[in-house]
Structure 1
Amino acid sequence: MGLADHEKRELEAIAQHLEEDDPNFATKLSKPPWLAWLSGTTLFVLGLLATYTVGLVGLAAGVSLSSWPLIAVSVAIVAIYPVKVVIALTRKQK
């Protein structure tokens, strides 16, 4: 459901006043966040690398401390993305 014409005009007037009052703030609002510039595949790869890094560091710490709970959590962290990929592929095939 779209906005009525008078509501659109009111929003445009508010935006105009904002630009006049504080142009720097208006510019910040008009720029998308840096994540919006990245594609979904790029975000997935960055998440994959970050997850593997955290998981492998935790695994190394668990081995050096002989802590089986830390090792188990780290293995689960490392396995999250491969499981996610397999689930996504099986859903696409159906």
Structure 2
Amino acid sequence: MDERPVYYPERCQNCQTCVVRERCPTNAYQETLNTRKCFGCGMCTYSCPYAAFEMKHGKIPFKTDDKIIEVPIICRQSDIKRARELADELKKRIQNGEFYIKQW
């Protein structure tokens, strides 16, 4: 299973200041999602107000006061195998000078 987000261009509102473009730690999103740069952190799914990005990890029920809401799982921290793969990939990108952290 590919753990990276799915991009739905029809949902994109072409915001003048794209929050996803500003927050993506690997600059994987410009006009499209570059899956070679993306390592599946989920920042785009969290940031886009128009839900142009989705990650298919499912949802968990969360009880608040008297109602239950479903909260999407953005990044599965319990998936230790995938977490190690992501950490190794990130380490390689840092060592190769391919990882740029934007200040926001």
TM-score range, shorter chain: under 0.3
Please state which structure has a larger fraction of its residues in strand.
2
Higher relative contact order (CA 8 A, sep 6+): 2
Q: What TM-score does the superposition give when structure 1 sets the normalisation length?
A: 0.28
Q: TM-score if structure 2 supplies the norm length?
A: 0.26
Point out the structure with the larger helix share: 1
